[in-house]
Amino acid sequence: MSAHSRHLPAIAVESLVKRYGAETVVDGLNVSIAPGETFAFLGPNGAGKTTTIKMLTTLLPPDEGRILLNGVDLAKDPMNARRHFGVVFQDCTLDKTMTVHENLWMHCALHRIPRAQRRLRIGDVLALFDLADRRDSMVSALSGGLRRRVEIARALLHHPALIFLDEPTLGLDPKSRRILWAHLQHLQKECGTTIFLTSHYLDEVERFAHNVAVIQKGRIIMQGTVDSIIRYAEKTTLEDSFLFLTSEETQTKEDRAVVAGA
């Protein structure tokens, strides 16, 4: 990493807009995320989270605005930008008719990782997510929690500096959620990976995220550290703060975007 890139945000989003017909579903988003941060993007159903992640991962072109990943402009150089991130969507995209190892091998091939490096890289991600003993299991035989770990491990094979996780713990039982978070924390400690996630489980966001943005109807209504948001809302938990900030009453009283102090 060059001295220059150390100072760049991992993600910089400037005035991002997406419209579907007459409806503006992402409406002037500005976000800056530091390298190595866990950033949670929160909002009620339909607020625009998945649409934003799709734009950040080159799956959907924005109507306006700019996205820079590690300083690379997505619109100008999408191929280069794709090398910087991994992404895991809500629905499982592993091939259930293949083993864990076969899925990972196929991903290496798709990413043109040289054959000589594949064994090592697969071994590394399996170890990182404590999956070595599942190497030859069929994906169809794995629990939901294990599948999610395999999906995240797969997204890391090309060594991205940042990873997008759309509701990574959705549908997992409390123990599997705890284990997944332990692995994400381990990943961040070992590799300094930036994590951008969405989640409706605000207790775990409160515990693990460094910074949070709350989006409603396509606009960020609050961003800051977890503590600063709780303090601003004068509540005791992030969930209570979220419910307060996104309530109809608060929104009609405070028709403005707020940045909570750090």
Ligand X SMILES: Nc1ncnc2c1ncn2[C@@H]1O[C@H](COP(=O)(O)OP(=O)(O)OP(=O)(O)O)[C@@H](O)[C@H]1O
Q: How far is the CB of 229 from ligand X (least distance, A)?
A: 18
CB 28 within 8 A of CB 16: yes
Contact between 47 and ligand X (CB under 6 A)?
A: yes
Q: For residue 105, what are its two tokens? A: 């091998």
Specify the residue, 41 or 85, whose C-beta has the smaller distance to ligand X.
Answer: 41
Closest CA to 170 of 204, 206, 123, 219: 204
Q: Which stretch binds ligand X (CB under 6 A): 42-50, 91-99, 146-154, 157-165?
A: 42-50
Closest CA to 53 of 72, 39, 34, 70: 39
Site of tokens 């419209």: 19
Specify the residue, 45 or 236, whose C-beta has the smaller distance to ligand X.
Answer: 45
Among 1, 5, 7, 46, binds ligand X (CB under 6 A): 46
Specify the residue, 51 or 103, whose C-beta has the smaller distance to ligand X.
Answer: 51
Among 35, 48, 145, 224, binds ligand X (CB under 6 A): 48
Q: For residue 183, what are its two tokens? A: 């692995």
Element (H, E) at 196: strand 194-198
Contact between 20 and ligand X (CB under 6 A)?
A: yes
Among 45, 79, 112, 133, binds ligand X (CB under 6 A): 45
Report d(CA 173, CA 178) in Å as an integer: 9
Contact between 261 and ligand X (CB under 6 A)?
A: no
CB 232 within 8 A of CB 224: yes
Q: How far is the CB of 134 from ligand X (least distance, A)?
A: 29
Contact between 50 and ligand X (CB under 6 A)?
A: yes
CB 195 within 8 A of CB 210: no
Cβ count within 10 A of residue 198: 22
Specify the residue, 49 or 101, whose C-beta has the smaller distance to ligand X.
Answer: 49
Contact between 43 and ligand X (CB under 6 A)?
A: yes
Contact between 25 and ligand X (CB under 6 A)?
A: yes
Specify the residue, 70 or 151, whose C-beta has the smaller distance to ligand X.
Answer: 151
Q: How many residues bind ligand X (CB under 6 A)?
A: 10
Q: How far is the CB of 164 from ligand X (least distance, A)?
A: 12
Report d(CA 92, CA 247) in Å as an integer: 32
CB 243 within 8 A of CB 250: no
Interaction site with ligand X (CB under 6 A):
20, 25, 43, 45-51
